[in-house]
Chains A and B, each alone.
Chain A
Amino acid sequence: MFDTVVGADASAEALIARIARGDDSAFAVLYDQLAPTVYGIVRRVVRDPAHSEEVTQEVFVELWRKAGRFDSARGRVRSWAVTIAHRRAVDRVRSEQSLRDRQQGDWAVPPSAPDGPADAVLDAFDRDRARQALSELSDVQRQALELVYFDGLTHVEAAERLDVALGTVKTRIRQGLIRLRTLVDIDERVARSG
Protein backbone atom coordinates (compact mmCIF):
# COMPACT_ATOMS: atom_id res chain seq x y z
CA MET A 1 0.00 0.00 0.00
CA PHE A 2 2.82 2.41 0.79
CA ASP A 3 5.66 3.49 -1.50
CA THR A 4 5.07 0.73 -3.95
CA VAL A 5 4.95 1.15 -7.73
CA VAL A 6 5.91 4.54 -9.14
CA GLY A 7 3.19 5.87 -11.39
CA ALA A 8 4.01 8.07 -14.36
CA ASP A 9 1.59 10.61 -12.92
CA ALA A 10 3.13 10.64 -9.44
CA SER A 11 3.78 14.16 -8.22
CA ALA A 12 7.32 15.47 -8.50
CA GLU A 13 7.27 16.03 -4.74
CA ALA A 14 6.45 12.36 -4.13
CA LEU A 15 9.14 11.32 -6.59
CA ILE A 16 11.85 13.45 -5.03
CA ALA A 17 11.19 11.85 -1.64
CA ARG A 18 11.70 8.43 -3.21
CA ILE A 19 14.79 9.59 -5.06
CA ALA A 20 16.25 10.75 -1.75
CA ARG A 21 16.03 7.12 -0.70
CA GLY A 22 17.83 6.01 -3.86
CA ASP A 23 14.82 4.94 -5.91
CA ASP A 24 16.04 4.66 -9.51
CA SER A 25 12.59 4.12 -10.95
CA ALA A 26 11.33 7.34 -9.37
CA PHE A 27 14.31 9.16 -10.85
CA ALA A 28 13.43 7.87 -14.31
CA VAL A 29 9.85 9.08 -13.91
CA LEU A 30 11.02 12.47 -12.68
CA TYR A 31 13.30 12.73 -15.69
CA ASP A 32 10.37 12.02 -18.00
CA GLN A 33 8.33 14.71 -16.30
CA LEU A 34 10.94 17.45 -16.09
CA ALA A 35 13.43 16.85 -18.91
CA PRO A 36 11.53 18.87 -21.54
CA THR A 37 11.30 21.87 -19.20
CA VAL A 38 14.88 21.61 -18.02
CA TYR A 39 16.22 21.10 -21.51
CA GLY A 40 14.01 23.92 -22.77
CA ILE A 41 15.49 26.35 -20.25
CA VAL A 42 19.03 25.19 -20.88
CA ARG A 43 18.67 25.39 -24.67
CA ARG A 44 17.22 28.86 -24.34
CA VAL A 45 20.29 30.04 -22.44
CA VAL A 46 23.10 27.88 -23.84
CA ARG A 47 21.72 27.47 -27.40
CA ASP A 48 24.27 24.90 -28.53
CA PRO A 49 22.47 21.51 -28.57
CA ALA A 50 25.45 19.40 -27.54
CA HIS A 51 26.37 21.70 -24.66
CA SER A 52 22.72 21.88 -23.68
CA GLU A 53 22.53 18.12 -23.36
CA GLU A 54 25.64 18.07 -21.19
CA VAL A 55 24.21 20.76 -18.93
CA THR A 56 20.85 18.96 -18.75
CA GLN A 57 22.66 15.84 -17.65
CA GLU A 58 24.51 17.83 -14.97
CA VAL A 59 21.21 19.26 -13.74
CA PHE A 60 19.65 15.85 -13.30
CA VAL A 61 22.72 14.42 -11.62
CA GLU A 62 22.52 17.33 -9.17
CA LEU A 63 18.82 16.61 -8.55
CA TRP A 64 19.72 12.97 -7.95
CA ARG A 65 22.51 13.84 -5.55
CA LYS A 66 20.65 16.54 -3.65
CA ALA A 67 17.16 15.06 -3.53
CA GLY A 68 17.47 14.60 0.21
CA ARG A 69 17.98 18.32 0.69
CA PHE A 70 14.88 19.43 -1.19
CA ASP A 71 12.72 21.60 1.05
CA SER A 72 9.13 21.54 -0.11
CA ALA A 73 8.37 24.55 2.04
CA ARG A 74 10.40 26.68 -0.36
CA GLY A 75 8.60 25.81 -3.55
CA ARG A 76 7.84 23.13 -6.06
CA VAL A 77 10.30 20.57 -7.40
CA ARG A 78 9.78 21.91 -10.92
CA SER A 79 10.85 25.44 -9.96
CA TRP A 80 13.76 24.04 -7.95
CA ALA A 81 14.89 22.11 -11.03
CA VAL A 82 14.56 25.23 -13.16
CA THR A 83 16.67 27.30 -10.76
CA ILE A 84 19.39 24.63 -10.88
CA ALA A 85 19.12 24.44 -14.66
CA HIS A 86 19.38 28.19 -15.05
CA ARG A 87 22.40 28.50 -12.78
CA ARG A 88 24.25 25.70 -14.54
CA ALA A 89 23.32 27.03 -17.97
CA VAL A 90 24.60 30.48 -17.06
CA ASP A 91 27.79 28.96 -15.66
CA ARG A 92 28.30 27.14 -18.95
CA VAL A 93 27.71 30.27 -21.03
CA ARG A 94 30.14 32.28 -18.90
CA SER A 95 32.68 29.49 -19.00
CA GLU A 96 32.48 29.26 -22.79
CA GLN A 97 32.62 33.03 -23.07
CA SER A 98 35.68 33.11 -20.83
CA LEU A 99 37.33 30.46 -22.97
CA ARG A 100 36.56 32.39 -26.14
CA ASP A 101 37.91 35.58 -24.56
CA ARG A 102 41.13 33.84 -23.63
CA GLN A 103 41.48 32.32 -27.06
CA GLN A 104 40.95 35.70 -28.67
CA GLY A 105 43.52 37.28 -26.39
CA ASP A 106 46.10 34.56 -26.87
CA TRP A 107 45.68 33.61 -30.49
CA ALA A 108 43.33 36.19 -31.92
CA VAL A 109 40.87 33.57 -33.08
CA PRO A 110 37.96 35.32 -34.78
CA PRO A 111 34.76 34.97 -32.82
CA SER A 112 32.09 32.73 -34.23
CA ALA A 113 28.94 34.43 -35.37
CA PRO A 114 26.51 34.81 -32.50
CA ASP A 115 23.19 33.03 -32.70
CA GLY A 116 20.54 35.32 -34.01
CA PRO A 117 16.94 35.71 -32.95
CA ALA A 118 15.97 33.08 -35.48
CA ASP A 119 17.50 30.45 -33.25
CA ALA A 120 15.34 27.36 -33.26
CA VAL A 121 14.69 27.38 -29.56
CA LEU A 122 13.83 31.04 -29.59
CA ASP A 123 11.33 30.28 -32.33
CA ALA A 124 9.89 27.52 -30.25
CA PHE A 125 9.54 29.78 -27.26
CA ASP A 126 5.90 29.98 -26.37
CA ARG A 127 5.42 33.64 -27.10
CA ASP A 128 1.73 33.69 -26.29
CA ARG A 129 2.18 32.50 -22.77
CA ALA A 130 5.23 34.63 -22.25
CA ARG A 131 3.53 37.68 -23.63
CA GLN A 132 0.61 37.23 -21.28
CA ALA A 133 2.83 37.16 -18.20
CA LEU A 134 5.35 39.65 -19.42
CA SER A 135 2.69 42.13 -20.45
CA GLU A 136 2.31 42.94 -16.78
CA LEU A 137 5.87 44.26 -16.79
CA SER A 138 7.04 47.50 -18.29
CA ASP A 139 9.02 47.18 -21.52
CA VAL A 140 12.28 48.14 -19.87
CA GLN A 141 11.77 45.66 -17.02
CA ARG A 142 10.93 42.86 -19.44
CA GLN A 143 13.90 43.65 -21.63
CA ALA A 144 16.31 43.61 -18.70
CA LEU A 145 14.93 40.35 -17.31
CA GLU A 146 15.03 38.57 -20.65
CA LEU A 147 18.61 39.60 -21.27
CA VAL A 148 19.89 38.34 -17.94
CA TYR A 149 17.62 35.31 -17.54
CA PHE A 150 17.14 33.86 -20.98
CA ASP A 151 20.23 35.20 -22.69
CA GLY A 152 22.46 34.62 -19.68
CA LEU A 153 24.05 38.07 -19.74
CA THR A 154 25.57 39.60 -16.63
CA HIS A 155 24.00 42.82 -15.43
CA VAL A 156 27.08 44.67 -16.72
CA GLU A 157 26.63 43.15 -20.17
CA ALA A 158 22.92 43.91 -20.07
CA ALA A 159 23.63 47.56 -19.20
CA GLU A 160 26.04 47.79 -22.14
CA ARG A 161 23.55 46.10 -24.46
CA LEU A 162 20.78 48.47 -23.39
CA ASP A 163 23.12 51.45 -23.23
CA VAL A 164 21.94 52.47 -19.78
CA ALA A 165 23.71 53.00 -16.46
CA LEU A 166 24.50 49.92 -14.39
CA GLY A 167 22.32 51.15 -11.55
CA THR A 168 19.43 51.60 -13.93
CA VAL A 169 19.53 48.05 -15.20
CA LYS A 170 19.84 46.69 -11.67
CA THR A 171 16.78 48.63 -10.58
CA ARG A 172 14.80 47.42 -13.60
CA ILE A 173 15.75 43.83 -12.77
CA ARG A 174 14.68 44.24 -9.16
CA GLN A 175 11.38 45.88 -10.00
CA GLY A 176 10.61 43.33 -12.70
CA LEU A 177 11.50 40.37 -10.53
CA ILE A 178 9.48 41.58 -7.59
CA ARG A 179 6.58 42.15 -9.95
CA LEU A 180 6.99 38.62 -11.30
CA ARG A 181 7.02 37.24 -7.79
CA THR A 182 3.69 38.92 -7.15
CA LEU A 183 2.30 37.62 -10.44
CA VAL A 184 3.43 34.08 -9.69
CA ASP A 185 1.71 34.26 -6.31
CA ILE A 186 -1.48 35.56 -7.86
CA ASP A 187 -1.33 33.01 -10.65
CA GLU A 188 -0.95 30.18 -8.15
CA ARG A 189 -3.87 31.43 -6.09
CA VAL A 190 -6.09 31.69 -9.15
CA ALA A 191 -5.10 28.21 -10.29
CA ARG A 192 -5.77 26.77 -6.87
CA SER A 193 -9.13 28.47 -6.49
CA GLY A 194 -10.17 26.94 -9.82
Chain B
Amino acid sequence: MSMNDQTPTNPVSADDLAVYALDAHEAENAADIAVRLHASPGAVRLEQDLRFAAGEFAAAVVQEVAPASDLRSRLLATARLRRTPVEAVAGSSPIDVHRVELSRAILLLRDLTADDWARPLDPPEFAGWTVHDVVVHLAANQSLFADQLGVPVPGVVETATDNEGRTAQARARHAGRPPAHAVAELEAAAEATDMELMRRGEARLNETILWWGGRAATRVAALVRAFETWTHADDIRRATGADMVAPPPASLLTMAHSACGFVPIMLGARGAHHPGRLVRFRFSDLGAAWDVDLGAVGAVRPASDDAVDAEIVADAATICRSISARVEPRDLPYEARGDQQLAGEVIDALPALAVL
Protein backbone atom coordinates (compact mmCIF):
# COMPACT_ATOMS: atom_id res chain seq x y z
CA MET B 1 0.00 0.00 0.00
CA SER B 2 1.42 3.36 -0.91
CA MET B 3 1.25 6.33 1.40
CA ASN B 4 -1.49 7.78 -0.80
CA ASP B 5 -3.68 4.75 -0.23
CA GLN B 6 -3.72 5.21 3.47
CA THR B 7 -6.71 6.49 5.32
CA PRO B 8 -6.10 9.50 7.54
CA THR B 9 -3.64 8.51 10.24
CA ASN B 10 -4.53 8.35 13.89
CA PRO B 11 -2.60 10.70 16.11
CA VAL B 12 0.17 9.14 18.17
CA SER B 13 -0.77 8.85 21.84
CA ALA B 14 1.42 10.58 24.40
CA ASP B 15 2.33 7.19 25.86
CA ASP B 16 3.48 5.88 22.48
CA LEU B 17 5.34 9.11 21.82
CA ALA B 18 7.37 8.68 24.99
CA VAL B 19 8.10 5.02 24.27
CA TYR B 20 9.12 5.93 20.74
CA ALA B 21 11.43 8.70 22.01
CA LEU B 22 13.28 6.06 24.03
CA ASP B 23 13.61 3.70 21.05
CA ALA B 24 11.58 1.18 23.04
CA HIS B 25 9.12 0.07 20.37
CA GLU B 26 9.58 -3.05 18.30
CA ALA B 27 10.71 -2.29 14.77
CA GLU B 28 7.30 -2.72 13.13
CA ASN B 29 5.55 -0.48 15.65
CA ALA B 30 8.31 2.09 15.43
CA ALA B 31 7.90 2.28 11.65
CA ASP B 32 4.14 2.78 12.02
CA ILE B 33 4.64 5.57 14.54
CA ALA B 34 7.25 7.24 12.36
CA VAL B 35 4.70 7.42 9.53
CA ARG B 36 2.02 8.80 11.83
CA LEU B 37 4.41 11.35 13.32
CA HIS B 38 4.96 12.89 9.90
CA ALA B 39 1.36 14.04 9.97
CA SER B 40 1.77 15.97 13.20
CA PRO B 41 4.48 18.62 13.47
CA GLY B 42 3.52 19.27 17.09
CA ALA B 43 4.03 15.63 17.99
CA VAL B 44 7.39 15.64 16.18
CA ARG B 45 8.56 18.57 18.29
CA LEU B 46 7.42 16.92 21.52
CA GLU B 47 9.09 13.65 20.53
CA GLN B 48 12.34 15.51 19.84
CA ASP B 49 12.08 17.34 23.15
CA LEU B 50 11.60 14.09 25.02
CA ARG B 51 14.41 12.37 23.14
CA PHE B 52 16.80 15.21 23.91
CA ALA B 53 15.69 15.31 27.54
CA ALA B 54 16.52 11.63 27.81
CA GLY B 55 19.86 12.32 26.13
CA GLU B 56 20.65 15.19 28.48
CA PHE B 57 19.76 13.04 31.45
CA ALA B 58 21.73 10.04 30.24
CA ALA B 59 24.78 12.17 29.44
CA ALA B 60 24.66 13.58 32.95
CA VAL B 61 24.33 10.34 34.84
CA VAL B 62 26.24 7.76 32.86
CA GLN B 63 29.78 7.02 33.89
CA GLU B 64 32.24 8.08 31.22
CA VAL B 65 34.31 5.14 30.03
CA ALA B 66 37.37 5.59 27.85
CA PRO B 67 37.28 3.32 24.80
CA ALA B 68 40.35 1.46 23.61
CA SER B 69 43.08 3.88 22.69
CA ASP B 70 43.37 2.69 19.09
CA LEU B 71 39.69 3.39 18.38
CA ARG B 72 40.50 7.06 17.82
CA SER B 73 42.95 6.45 14.99
CA ARG B 74 40.73 3.78 13.43
CA LEU B 75 37.76 6.10 13.55
CA LEU B 76 39.55 9.08 12.05
CA ALA B 77 40.78 6.92 9.18
CA THR B 78 37.29 5.50 8.63
CA ALA B 79 35.63 8.90 8.73
CA ARG B 80 37.93 10.27 6.07
CA LEU B 81 37.14 7.35 3.82
CA ARG B 82 33.42 7.41 4.43
CA ARG B 83 32.65 10.97 3.57
CA THR B 84 33.78 13.99 1.77
CA PRO B 85 32.51 17.04 3.65
CA VAL B 86 28.78 17.53 3.37
CA GLU B 87 28.01 20.30 0.97
CA ALA B 88 24.92 22.30 1.64
CA VAL B 89 22.91 21.78 -1.53
CA ALA B 90 19.84 23.72 -0.47
CA GLY B 91 19.58 26.68 1.81
CA SER B 92 17.12 26.88 4.65
CA SER B 93 14.02 29.01 4.39
CA PRO B 94 14.53 32.54 5.75
CA ILE B 95 11.93 31.58 8.34
CA ASP B 96 14.18 28.80 9.62
CA VAL B 97 17.34 30.87 9.32
CA HIS B 98 15.71 33.53 11.49
CA ARG B 99 14.51 30.98 14.06
CA VAL B 100 17.84 29.19 14.29
CA GLU B 101 19.94 32.33 14.69
CA LEU B 102 17.67 33.77 17.37
CA SER B 103 17.68 30.44 19.20
CA ARG B 104 21.47 30.16 19.01
CA ALA B 105 21.87 33.65 20.43
CA ILE B 106 19.43 33.07 23.27
CA LEU B 107 21.16 29.83 24.23
CA LEU B 108 24.44 31.74 24.31
CA LEU B 109 22.99 34.45 26.55
CA ARG B 110 21.68 31.92 29.03
CA ASP B 111 25.23 30.73 29.65
CA LEU B 112 26.70 34.14 30.44
CA THR B 113 28.00 34.85 33.93
CA ALA B 114 27.50 38.09 35.86
CA ASP B 115 31.02 39.16 34.88
CA ASP B 116 30.36 38.43 31.21
CA TRP B 117 27.50 40.90 31.07
CA ALA B 118 29.81 43.80 31.96
CA ARG B 119 32.53 42.95 29.45
CA PRO B 120 33.27 45.56 26.76
CA LEU B 121 32.76 44.90 23.05
CA ASP B 122 35.52 45.35 20.50
CA PRO B 123 33.83 46.78 17.37
CA PRO B 124 34.77 50.50 17.23
CA GLU B 125 31.16 51.57 16.75
CA PHE B 126 30.36 49.99 20.12
CA ALA B 127 32.98 51.96 22.05
CA GLY B 128 31.87 52.07 25.69
CA TRP B 129 29.21 49.38 25.20
CA THR B 130 29.01 46.24 27.26
CA VAL B 131 27.56 42.85 26.42
CA HIS B 132 24.40 43.99 28.20
CA ASP B 133 24.13 47.02 25.92
CA VAL B 134 24.38 44.99 22.74
CA VAL B 135 21.71 42.59 23.97
CA VAL B 136 19.42 45.57 24.60
CA HIS B 137 20.22 46.64 21.04
CA LEU B 138 19.28 43.19 19.73
CA ALA B 139 16.06 43.18 21.75
CA ALA B 140 15.21 46.69 20.49
CA ASN B 141 15.60 45.74 16.84
CA GLN B 142 13.78 42.45 17.34
CA SER B 143 10.83 44.19 18.97
CA LEU B 144 10.81 46.66 16.07
CA PHE B 145 10.56 43.71 13.69
CA ALA B 146 7.70 42.38 15.81
CA ASP B 147 5.94 45.74 15.56
CA GLN B 148 6.30 45.78 11.80
CA LEU B 149 4.90 42.26 11.54
CA GLY B 150 1.91 43.37 13.60
CA VAL B 151 2.76 41.35 16.71
CA PRO B 152 4.09 43.94 19.20
CA VAL B 153 5.83 42.67 22.32
CA PRO B 154 3.91 43.42 25.53
CA GLY B 155 5.78 45.85 27.77
CA VAL B 156 7.92 47.34 25.01
CA VAL B 157 7.06 51.03 24.72
CA GLU B 158 9.64 52.24 22.20
CA THR B 159 8.16 54.01 19.19
CA ALA B 160 11.20 54.84 17.07
CA THR B 161 11.28 52.96 13.80
CA ASP B 162 14.94 53.45 12.94
CA ASN B 163 17.80 51.29 14.15
CA GLU B 164 19.73 53.83 16.20
CA GLY B 165 16.72 55.71 17.57
CA ARG B 166 15.05 52.52 18.70
CA THR B 167 18.21 51.34 20.40
CA ALA B 168 18.70 54.67 22.18
CA GLN B 169 15.15 54.52 23.57
CA ALA B 170 15.59 50.91 24.70
CA ARG B 171 18.95 51.58 26.35
CA ALA B 172 17.41 54.45 28.32
CA ARG B 173 14.57 52.22 29.53
CA HIS B 174 16.89 49.34 30.42
CA ALA B 175 19.43 51.50 32.27
CA GLY B 176 19.79 50.09 35.79
CA ARG B 177 17.77 46.97 35.04
CA PRO B 178 19.31 43.50 35.26
CA PRO B 179 20.41 41.81 32.02
CA ALA B 180 17.71 39.17 32.47
CA HIS B 181 15.11 41.78 31.48
CA ALA B 182 16.82 42.34 28.13
CA VAL B 183 17.08 38.59 27.53
CA ALA B 184 13.41 38.13 28.38
CA GLU B 185 12.44 40.86 25.93
CA LEU B 186 14.62 39.39 23.22
CA GLU B 187 13.08 35.95 23.81
CA ALA B 188 9.57 37.37 23.74
CA ALA B 189 10.28 39.27 20.52
CA ALA B 190 11.94 36.22 18.97
CA GLU B 191 8.98 34.03 19.82
CA ALA B 192 6.47 36.58 18.52
CA THR B 193 8.31 37.06 15.24
CA ASP B 194 9.05 33.37 14.74
CA MET B 195 5.42 32.45 15.29
CA GLU B 196 4.19 35.18 12.96
CA LEU B 197 6.65 34.24 10.22
CA MET B 198 5.59 30.60 10.49
CA ARG B 199 1.92 31.58 10.49
CA ARG B 200 2.41 33.62 7.33
CA GLY B 201 4.48 30.92 5.68
CA GLU B 202 6.73 30.96 2.65
CA ALA B 203 4.07 32.35 0.35
CA ARG B 204 4.03 35.70 2.11
CA LEU B 205 7.76 36.25 2.43
CA ASN B 206 7.77 38.60 -0.54
CA GLU B 207 5.20 40.92 1.04
CA THR B 208 6.85 44.16 2.06
CA ILE B 209 6.87 45.65 5.52
CA LEU B 210 8.07 48.99 6.87
CA TRP B 211 11.73 48.54 7.70
CA TRP B 212 14.16 51.16 8.90
CA GLY B 213 12.45 54.03 7.13
CA GLY B 214 11.67 52.24 3.90
CA ARG B 215 9.93 49.12 2.71
CA ALA B 216 11.57 45.74 2.46
CA ALA B 217 10.43 42.24 1.62
CA THR B 218 9.66 40.25 4.74
CA ARG B 219 12.28 37.68 3.69
CA VAL B 220 14.94 40.40 3.60
CA ALA B 221 13.95 41.76 6.99
CA ALA B 222 14.01 38.25 8.51
CA LEU B 223 17.44 37.56 7.04
CA VAL B 224 18.75 40.92 8.22
CA ARG B 225 17.57 40.07 11.73
CA ALA B 226 19.28 36.67 11.51
CA PHE B 227 22.46 38.18 10.11
CA GLU B 228 22.61 40.90 12.75
CA THR B 229 21.87 38.41 15.52
CA TRP B 230 24.67 36.12 14.37
CA THR B 231 27.06 39.10 14.14
CA HIS B 232 26.30 40.36 17.65
CA ALA B 233 26.31 36.84 19.11
CA ASP B 234 29.86 36.52 17.77
CA ASP B 235 30.64 39.99 19.22
CA ILE B 236 29.56 38.59 22.58
CA ARG B 237 31.56 35.40 22.11
CA ARG B 238 34.71 37.43 21.41
CA ALA B 239 34.03 39.68 24.40
CA THR B 240 33.68 36.66 26.67
CA GLY B 241 36.64 34.75 25.27
CA ALA B 242 34.64 32.11 23.40
CA ASP B 243 35.22 30.87 19.86
CA MET B 244 33.05 32.43 17.22
CA VAL B 245 30.53 30.05 15.66
CA ALA B 246 29.26 30.24 12.10
CA PRO B 247 25.60 29.37 11.41
CA PRO B 248 24.71 25.87 10.20
CA PRO B 249 25.67 25.43 6.52
CA ALA B 250 22.08 25.48 5.27
CA SER B 251 21.52 28.81 7.05
CA LEU B 252 24.82 30.19 5.88
CA LEU B 253 23.97 29.21 2.32
CA THR B 254 20.78 31.25 2.44
CA MET B 255 22.50 34.23 4.02
CA ALA B 256 25.45 34.14 1.61
CA HIS B 257 23.12 33.86 -1.40
CA SER B 258 21.11 36.83 -0.20
CA ALA B 259 24.28 38.83 0.51
CA CYS B 260 25.51 38.22 -3.04
CA GLY B 261 22.36 39.87 -4.32
CA PHE B 262 23.30 43.07 -2.49
CA VAL B 263 26.80 43.35 -3.97
CA PRO B 264 25.68 45.91 -6.62
CA ILE B 265 24.32 48.12 -3.82
CA MET B 266 27.54 47.72 -1.85
CA LEU B 267 29.53 48.79 -4.90
CA GLY B 268 27.12 51.66 -5.52
CA ALA B 269 27.61 52.87 -1.95
CA ARG B 270 31.30 53.15 -2.77
CA GLY B 271 30.60 54.96 -6.02
CA ALA B 272 31.39 51.99 -8.25
CA HIS B 273 29.07 50.83 -11.02
CA HIS B 274 29.77 47.88 -13.27
CA PRO B 275 26.63 47.16 -15.27
CA GLY B 276 26.91 44.12 -17.48
CA ARG B 277 29.84 42.63 -15.63
CA LEU B 278 29.67 39.28 -13.90
CA VAL B 279 31.46 38.16 -10.77
CA ARG B 280 31.47 34.55 -9.64
CA PHE B 281 31.59 33.80 -5.92
CA ARG B 282 32.85 30.34 -5.11
CA PHE B 283 32.40 29.56 -1.44
CA SER B 284 34.88 26.95 -0.38
CA ASP B 285 33.18 26.19 2.94
CA LEU B 286 29.79 25.57 1.35
CA GLY B 287 30.73 23.99 -1.95
CA ALA B 288 28.46 26.55 -3.60
CA ALA B 289 29.14 28.95 -6.46
CA TRP B 290 26.99 31.75 -7.84
CA ASP B 291 27.32 34.21 -10.67
CA VAL B 292 26.36 37.75 -9.68
CA ASP B 293 25.30 40.31 -12.27
CA LEU B 294 26.72 43.58 -11.00
CA GLY B 295 24.15 45.55 -12.96
CA ALA B 296 21.06 44.37 -11.06
CA VAL B 297 20.22 43.92 -7.40
CA GLY B 298 19.42 40.32 -6.54
CA ALA B 299 20.55 38.94 -9.90
CA VAL B 300 22.23 35.83 -8.51
CA ARG B 301 22.16 32.53 -10.35
CA PRO B 302 24.00 29.24 -10.01
CA ALA B 303 27.46 29.34 -11.53
CA SER B 304 27.51 28.23 -15.14
CA ASP B 305 30.29 27.20 -17.50
CA ASP B 306 30.21 30.65 -19.04
CA ALA B 307 33.15 32.98 -18.61
CA VAL B 308 32.82 35.68 -15.98
CA ASP B 309 34.80 38.86 -15.49
CA ALA B 310 36.19 37.85 -12.13
CA GLU B 311 35.95 34.90 -9.80
CA ILE B 312 36.39 35.20 -6.06
CA VAL B 313 37.11 32.05 -4.06
CA ALA B 314 36.63 32.54 -0.34
CA ASP B 315 35.00 31.24 2.79
CA ALA B 316 31.32 32.31 2.96
CA ALA B 317 31.41 32.79 6.73
CA THR B 318 34.35 35.17 6.40
CA ILE B 319 32.75 37.04 3.50
CA CYS B 320 29.64 37.50 5.64
CA ARG B 321 31.77 38.71 8.54
CA SER B 322 33.34 41.24 6.23
CA ILE B 323 29.88 42.41 5.14
CA SER B 324 29.10 43.02 8.80
CA ALA B 325 32.42 44.89 9.15
CA ARG B 326 33.91 42.33 11.49
CA VAL B 327 36.69 41.40 9.05
CA GLU B 328 38.54 44.17 7.26
CA PRO B 329 38.67 43.59 3.50
CA ARG B 330 42.46 43.77 3.65
CA ASP B 331 42.43 40.90 6.16
CA LEU B 332 40.02 38.75 4.16
CA PRO B 333 41.74 35.72 2.66
CA TYR B 334 40.53 35.12 -0.86
CA GLU B 335 41.75 34.01 -4.24
CA ALA B 336 40.85 36.03 -7.31
CA ARG B 337 40.85 34.90 -10.91
CA GLY B 338 40.25 37.04 -14.00
CA ASP B 339 39.96 40.79 -13.48
CA GLN B 340 41.92 41.30 -10.26
CA GLN B 341 40.96 44.96 -9.97
CA LEU B 342 37.26 44.22 -10.21
CA ALA B 343 37.57 41.47 -7.62
CA GLY B 344 39.44 43.85 -5.35
CA GLU B 345 36.73 46.49 -5.72
CA VAL B 346 34.07 43.97 -4.79
CA ILE B 347 36.01 42.82 -1.72
CA ASP B 348 36.67 46.42 -0.63
CA ALA B 349 32.98 47.26 -0.93
CA LEU B 350 31.71 44.37 1.23
CA PRO B 351 31.35 46.36 4.50
CA ALA B 352 29.67 49.29 2.75
CA LEU B 353 26.20 48.54 4.11
CA ALA B 354 27.24 47.67 7.66
CA VAL B 355 25.31 49.60 10.27
CA LEU B 356 25.26 49.56 14.05
Interface on A for B, CB 8 Å cutoff? Answer: 1-3, 7, 10-11, 13-14, 17, 20-22, 24, 27-28, 31-32, 35-37, 39-41, 43-44, 52-53, 56-57, 60-61, 64-76, 78-83, 86-87, 90-91, 94, 121, 124-126, 129-130, 133-134, 145, 148-150, 153-156, 158, 167, 170-171, 173-174, 177-178, 180-181, 183-185, 187-188, 192
- Report B-chain residues with C-beta under 8 Å of the C-beta of A53: 67-68, 71
Knowing A53-B67, A73-B100, A73-B103, say if A149 contacts B54 (CB, 8 Å). yes
- Report B-chain residues with C-beta under 8 Å of the C-beta of A3: 244, 246, 315, 317-318
Q: Write the chain B residue with the least CB distance to A36.
A: B64
Q: Is the CB of B64 within 8 A of A153?
A: no
- Report A-chain residues with C-beta under 8 Å of the C-beta of B317: 2-3
Q: Is the CB of A68 within 8 A of B245?
A: no
CB contacts under 8 Å to A, within B1-34, are 14-19, 21-27
Knowing A41-B58, A153-B24, say if A181 contacts B245 (CB, 8 Å). no
Q: Write the chain A residue with the least CB distance to B285.
A: A21
- Report B-chain residues with C-beta under 8 Å of the C-beta of A28: 72, 76
Q: How large is the interface on B (under 10, 10 to 19, 20 to 34, 35 or more residues)?
A: 35 or more
Q: Is residue B331 within 8 Å, beta carbon to beta carbon, of the partner chain?
A: yes
- Report B-chain residues with C-beta under 8 Å of the C-beta of A82: 55-56, 58-59
Q: Is residue B215 within 8 Å, beta carbon to beta carbon, of the partner chain?
A: no
The complex places the Cα of A87 from the Cα of B22 at a distance, in Å, of 8
Q: Is the CB of B19 within 8 A of A149?
A: no
Knowing A40-B64, A57-B78, A70-B248, say if A22 contacts B85 (CB, 8 Å). yes
Closest chain-B Cβ to A115's Cβ sits at a distance in Å of 15
Q: Write the chain B residue with the least CB distance to A20.
A: B249
Q: Is the CB of B55 within 8 A of A68?
A: no
Knowing A27-B79, A121-B63, A133-B60, say if A20 contacts B22 (CB, 8 Å). no
Q: Is the CB of A145 within 8 A of B22?
A: yes
Q: Is the CB of A177 within 8 A of B82?
A: no
Question: Does more than half of chain B's interface fall in helix, strand or loop, or is it mixed?
Answer: helix
- Report B-chain residues with C-beta under 8 Å of the C-beta of A150: 58, 62
A sample of 9 inter-chain contacts (CB < 8 A) reads: A2-B327, A10-B243, A57-B78, A61-B75, A72-B100, A82-B56, A86-B58, A133-B61, A192-B110
The complex places the Cα of A65 from the Cα of B315 at a distance, in Å, of 20
Most buried by B among A20, A32, A35, A67: A20
Q: Is residue B126 within 8 Å, beta carbon to beta carbon, of the partner chain?
A: no
Q: Is residue B127 within 8 Å, beta carbon to beta carbon, of the partner chain?
A: no
Most buried by A among B14, B85, B111, B243: B243
The complex places the Cα of A71 from the Cα of B97 at a distance, in Å, of 11
Closest chain-A Cβ to B283's Cβ sits at a distance in Å of 10
The complex places the Cα of A35 from the Cα of B110 at a distance, in Å, of 26
In the complex, identify which listed stretch (B45-53, B301-309, B340-348) lies at the interface while the others stay far away.
Answer: B45-53
Q: Is residue B83 within 8 Å, beta carbon to beta carbon, of the partner chain?
A: yes
The complex places the Cα of A32 from the Cα of B39 at a distance, in Å, of 39
Closest chain-B Cβ to A69's Cβ sits at a distance in Å of 8
Knowing A17-B248, A53-B71, A154-B24, say if A83 contacts B57 (CB, 8 Å). no
CB contacts under 8 Å to A, within B275-334, are 285, 315, 317-318, 321, 327, 331
